[in-house]
Structure 1
Amino acid sequence: MPRTRASATALFVPRKTSRAQQRSARSEFAEARRQARLAEAPAERGEQDGFDPELRATYPPSGRPGPASARGGKLSLPKHRMTTATASGAYPFLAEGGLGADGIFIGRDVHSEGSFCFDPFSLYSSGRIEGFTNPNAILAGIIGMGKSALAKSLATRAIAHGYRTYIPCDPKGEWTAVAQALGGYTIALGPGLPGRLNPLDAPARPTSVSADDWANEVRKRRLLLLAGLARTVLKRDLHPMEHTALDLSLDLAVAESEARGSVPLLGDIAHTLGSPERLDAALGDQGGRMGPAAEDLAHALRRLVHGDLSGMFDAPSTVAFDPKAPMLSIDLSRLGGAGDDTALVLAMTCASAWMESALADPTGGRRWVIYDEAWRVMRHVGLLERMQSQWKLSRGLGIANLMVIHRLSDLLSAGDAGSRGRVLAEGLLADCSTRIIYRQEPDQLATATSLLGLTGVEAQAVAALTKGRGLWKVAGRSFITQHLLHPAERALFDTDARMVLAA
């Protein structure tokens, strides 16, 4: 006799049955199996007062049945609203409008696929970006990532916008070809070369400044230079009596040179320091003898007059500053030997003082001043003080300073926390509204994040940047930009020519 009902273990349906009968049979079979499982489950699982150490599912399943259980149903949440400022902080690099089309073309914004232009003067004067308080910038990146090409590209393309570019110190001589190709010129300094620069040259007085005020400004600049040179050679801070000796010797040398109708030289200062009786007479009854204080200073300046730097900064300048030249660089590559870099630092101090004096005229137009290989100056307080003065006066003089370093940790090499050098270095970073970061090594990410306030997303981006690609932080706004070079620029800016063997 054929079976017409389903059992709990198997389902048999006669061959000649309608579809309705088949569906009914299957439903009965499924219900019979479910009841069988419910009846057998407690015994098989050995439940003990509802405690299950293996956290297995219960039978029957708990919770409300149907769509209200949220198992497999649709969950509806209210919409979340936020401003675009909040969205840009939560999702950086998305939906960024860029800095506008004004200024120097840099390349392509990686995320928006649009062109990226940058002009610190336009951004500062227009006030489009809140927090953009100065035109200064810092550029950091490891070797081989294209930071030198970016600095040179900024310098050359700025000329098309009517700006001029000056490089106070070129330790590797890489800017000589660039300056010559653009119609500028280079002053090469070194042993046996004809170039001479007198760092005590007085710049032309601006028409808006009175003669007395300008005389005081020139004197202050000269004293700052002399103190920096002495501090570099002596490798220590100056004592109060030594500062007094420099004051007296400068005043005596200036008076004698004006009587001759000339400009004082470093040799004149050294000669006066070597005559303590003249300093004592100038000091009068104000107390103390200047002999012991002037002795070390005289020997410190002697290196620039009779030592390994003689002939470069102890004679009248053989070149005049041309404010109309599109580019001017000072080549110090012949002084960049290994080991003690004191000679190079002294030359950088003198060359920077000479060029900064020439740039003191606020009517000279808008100019870029690029400090290449600036990591060399971080251990020397005198050079940091000169750079700080240049940074603070940038807006009044119409100057955009660009500092090029390898790592952000170079700023920490200026000294211990709280030291004068560290404070100056961190102050330079704080006075840069634009920070350009090329790829950093993994062990440098923590320092970069701390100094620049990078977000987690930005830190990950910096670690993965490829050649020519950098993170631009402009007054808090972030961009990932691919620098684009013309083939002629690529050939002109090539810094790896010596690493490539000729075919």
Structure 2
Amino acid sequence: MSHRRASATPLFTPHNIDRAQRRTLRKQTAQAEARARTAAGADAEQQPTEAAYPDAVYPLAGRPGPASARGSRLKLPAHRMTTAVASAAYPFLAEGGLGADGIYIGRDLHAEGSFTFDPFSLYGKVEGFTNPNLLLAGVIGQGKSALAKSLALRSVAFGYRVYVPCDPKGEWSAVAAALGGTSIALGPGLPGRLNPLDAAPRPASVPQAEWEGEVRKRRLLLLGSLARTVLGRDLLPMEHTVLDVALDAASARAAASGRPPLLGDIAHALADGPGLDLAGGLLAGRLGEAARDLAHAMRRLVFGDLAGMFDAPSTSAFNPYSPMLSIDLSRLGGSDDTALVLAMTCASAWMEAALTDPYGGRRWVIYDEAWRLMRHPALLMRMQAQWKLSRGLGIANAMVIHRLSDLLTAGDAGSQSRALAEGLLADCSTRVIYRQETDQLHAAAGLLGLTSVETAALSHLSRGRGLWKVAGRSFVVQHQLHPAELQLFDTDARMH
């Protein structure tokens, strides 16, 4: 049986007709609607009556018996499917992210949502997130420097402070100025001076005697790092004793003058063989000979290519309340990598001495171009000590390198240097990897424990897009830059 459908549509009334014509059209529309309703009612009377809905087979409480799945009694046979089938059956599953608390980074490409990150907020809340330290690696031109600077700039809005103890390219000075911070430039002919043997103000919770011992231990660690870097070897037991005796002699001489000791005082004490023998007591006649190489090594910091920068009283005071402080070492970026590394050691020691206050708030310490440090075990030991203290001091350390294989240049497999470099990686709960060259994928996968899918993604990441490994969880994030940040962070200005 065929059924008719009747409908009426309101007529279109042009704007150029008068009121009488509009009234006539409305009347015709009303008559058409009445005829359509009459025709629809006649068809409804001819249609058969709809069948009643059948009664429910089971009561409202559900199906009784063992098949009801109550109490986990439902037993179904195992079923296997491929990942292709599973992705079609569950097409909308994605990583839930790290939550909304933290610094906005960009867009999570898998979840198509915002990606935020805050190591201090994640600590203790995310399983496996054991420390706030971060490793950032990527080839040149992929945006890793922009990410580090953006992370630092946006952290200030959360009340965090940022310290860059070594800026080999001078790229952080503009960021510090934009945040109202301070940048100290060091180099030949510049007026800036830093005394790496400065003692930080004593925290109120630490007794005077205990604090003096801590200051002395830090100074010895610094002197040992400098000596190892210049000599290119580990120190002998007698040389450790020489540094110990020379530091005490230099500190006593400086205290008598009412000032902190200088590296020049240490160099003078090391060159004073009879004085060392006299102070050595039972080792008289032997310390003077052991100090010969150390005296020449320390002389480079006082009279060599670094003269005038670290052997004078500091011209700048460390302001713990400054939003950002960077030390510009771009004047030392020549072919001699050792001079730059020595300067980085002294500058970082001066800054780290003021970071020991556990009530100083949450702070970022960013080691840019950290790949330069990998060939110097003494510096790796200093960084490892800083990494271990990060949780107690409220410090998040960020290490910026080019390739993951830079960690392998620290030494041969099984050596102390290689163990220190890999230890730094292990103490970073967050690893951000930008695009890697094809020949570097094997090293990256081995060091980070990447899956085959993650390894393949590394070689195809576009600019500003990185693989984030946070406590074992993986994200592919597109870093988003504000136009003002893009202009401030532009490191390719000279190429345009």
Alignment TM class, shorter chain as reference: 0.7 to 0.9
Q: How is 1:231-250 mapped onto 2 (pairs within 5 angstroms)? A: 231-250=228-247
Q: Which runs of 5+ in 1 are unaligned?
A: 1-75, 82-86
Equivalent in the alignment of 2:430: 434
Q: How is 1:215-230 mapped onto 2 (pairs within 5 angstroms)? A: 215-230=212-227
Q: How is 1:464-475 mapped onto 2 (pairs within 5 angstroms)? A: 464-475=460-471
Q: Which runs of 5+ in 2 are unaligned?
A: 1-75
Equivalent in the alignment of 1:376: 372
How many residues are aligned here?
Answer: 415
Distance in 2 (CA, whole Å) between partners of 1:427 and 1:218 is: 25
Q: Deviation per CA, 1:440-481, whole angstroms, max 9, x where unpaired?
A: 001111000000000011111111110000000000000000
Distance in 1 (CA, whole Å) between partners of 2:92 and 2:455 is: 13
Distance in 1 (CA, whole Å) between partners of 2:441 and 2:405 is: 10
Against the structure 1 CA distance between its residues 485 and 492, is the aligned structure 2 distance closer, same or farther, given a 3 Å change threshold? same
- Is it true that 1:480 corresponds to 2:479 in the alignment? no
Deviation at 1:295, TM superposition (A): 1.2
What letter is aligned with 2:108? D
1:207 is paired with a residue of what secondary structure? coil
Equivalent in the alignment of 1:179: 176
Q: How is 1:113-124 mapped onto 2 (pairs within 5 angstroms)? A: 113-124=112-123
- Is it true that 1:311 corresponds to 2:308 in the alignment? yes
CA contact (8 A) 2:277 2:283 kept: no
Equivalent in the alignment of 1:137: 134
Against the structure 1 CA distance between its residues 94 and 415, is the aligned structure 2 distance closer, same or farther, given a 3 Å change threshold? farther
Deviation at 1:270, TM superposition (A): 0.5
Residue number among 305, 310, 320 corresponding to 2:317 in the alignment? 320
- Is it true that 1:102 corresponds to 2:101 in the alignment? yes
CA contact (8 A) 1:470 1:480 kept: yes
What letter is aligned with 1:367? R
Equivalent in the alignment of 1:213: 210
The TM-score, its normalising length taken from structure 1, stands at 0.80
1:404 is paired with a residue of what secondary structure? strand
- Is it true that 1:346 corresponds to 2:342 in the alignment? yes
Distance in 2 (CA, whole Å) between partners of 1:417 and 1:256 is: 45
Distance in 2 (CA, whole Å) between partners of 1:354 and 1:199 is: 4
1:345 is paired with a residue of what secondary structure? helix
Distance in 1 (CA, whole Å) between partners of 2:285 and 2:471 is: 52
CA contact (8 A) 1:103 1:119 kept: yes
What letter is aligned with 1:468? G
CA contact (8 A) 2:445 2:455 kept: yes
Distance in 1 (CA, whole Å) between partners of 2:219 and 2:439 is: 41
Identity %: 75
CA contact (8 A) 2:278 2:284 kept: no
Equivalent in the alignment of 2:22: none
What letter is aligned with 1:353? A
The TM-score, its normalising length taken from structure 2, stands at 0.82
What letter is aligned with 1:167? V
CA contact (8 A) 1:362 1:398 kept: yes
CA contact (8 A) 1:105 1:117 kept: yes
Equivalent in the alignment of 1:461: 457
CA contact (8 A) 1:93 1:479 kept: no
Equivalent in the alignment of 2:5: none
Distance in 2 (CA, whole Å) between partners of 1:250 and 1:93 is: 65
CA contact (8 A) 1:108 1:483 kept: yes
Q: Deviation per CA, 1:257-292, whole angstroms, max 9, x where unpaired?
A: 112211000000100111111111111124651121
Against the structure 1 CA distance between its residues 477 and 94, is the aligned structure 2 distance closer, same or farther, given a 3 Å change threshold? farther
Deviation at 1:92, TM superposition (A): 13
Distance in 2 (CA, whole Å) between partners of 1:220 and 1:421 is: 22
CA contact (8 A) 1:94 1:111 kept: no
Against the structure 1 CA distance between its residues 295 and 283, is the aligned structure 2 distance closer, same or farther, given a 3 Å change threshold? same
Deviation at 1:419, TM superposition (A): 1.2
